[in-house]
Structure 1
Amino acid sequence: MTKHTISVLVADQPGVLQRVCGLFGRRGYNIDSISVGRSESEGCSRIILVTSCEERIADQICQQLNKLIDVIQVKLLSKKPLLTRELMLIKCHAAAGARQEILGLADTFRCSVIDVGAETMTIQVVGDREKNTAFLQILRPFGIVEVTGTGVTAVNRG
């Protein structure tokens, strides 16, 4: 099975996200990642979904999404070269002696330290899933307090 990224432009109306997710549940499809945010069109939002399936199933999902109320446009982004990003916030233990090492690691991965507390640091990581996961693994020995992240957001190249 291949991961497929689908962009769904929807009207900003109550219940539209529930209808989109309900379609996946009723058909037995799994959503690996979902992200919802503003779009280029006033009164519309863009939903970016990632699912694992065969290409013919991804095409079928797109056709079914197009039939839903308040869905304006559906694109299977994974048919063309794609740019993807995820945001992750990682709060880790940062004793005084470890802070310089953590700052060095954050700099190497082009991350931003967004908060420094008495015993913790919070680091913002933006990149593809592999980069974010690699950075998280490197921070594990320091002690992870909390992790939160967005779903994938994506756009075709060019």
Structure 2
Amino acid sequence: MKHTISVLVEDEAGVLTRIAGLFARRGFNIESLAVGPAEQVGISRITMVVPGDDRVIEQLTKQLYKLVNVLKVQDITETPCVERELMLLKVNANSNNRAEVVGLIQIFRARVVDVSEDSLTVEVVGDPGKMVAIVQVLNRFGIREISRTGKIALTRESGVNTEYLKSLESKV
């Protein structure tokens, strides 16, 4: 199972290296990693997607807390969250199929950010499932390049689990 881990750290040189080293020493892969300033000056939030069972993640959490600059570690996998990812993708689009490609892009509420004679560069923002879906749809035109940020997430203060609500809507 993939777990989403949110880590608050002091914004100092070498913190990310120590965290990555901890994972590497234990033979764990980090599938997605996003780092940026948090709500407080001098604090950064690291959001990681890590494969493993609950026991492994609990062990990693304990190890993370032993690192000097780590302030807070949360496994937010089962917590209602807002999750987003940014992806840029370059897709083949010539004069014959450009209208069709743009139509599909609009369905996903994505934006064209660059145009050339034979390609479009598209910006997509959304949950990780949306990223997979748009790639599947645009694959038939030929995708030249993809760049993704990795997932970022914050817990929902409302406590509303949108995945649960979506499952209820599909039954109606």
1-structure distance, mates of 2:142, 2:28: 35
- Aligned pairs, how many? 157
Return the structure number with greater strand share. 1
Q: How does 1:57-136 map to 2 (within 5 A)?
A: 57-136=56-135
Distance in 2, Cα, partners of 1:3 & 1:144? 26
State the SS of the aligned residue for 2:94. coil
Query: Which residue is 2:24 aligned to?
Result: 25
What is the Cα deviation at residue 65 of structure 1? 0.6
Name the CA distance, whole Å, in 1 between partners of 2:40 and 2:117: 43
Where do 5+ consecutive residues of structure 2 fail to align? Answer: 158-172
| 5+ residue gaps, structure 1 | none
Deviations 1:76-113 (A, max 9, x none): 11241222111110111110121111111011111111
What TM-score, normalized by structure 1, do the two folds share?
0.93
Instruction: Give the RMSD, CA atoms, in angstroms.
Output: 1.2
Cα deviation code 1:31-57 (max 9, x no counterpart): 111111111010121110111111122
Instruction: Tell me the secondary structure at the aligned position of residue 12 of structure 2.
Output: coil
Q: C-alpha distance in 1, partners of 2:78/2:111?
A: 32
Instruction: Using the aligned pairs only, state the percent identity.
Output: 46
Q: Residues of 1 paired with 2:108 and 2:155: CA distance?
A: 24
CA distance in 2, matches of 1:58, 1:82: 18
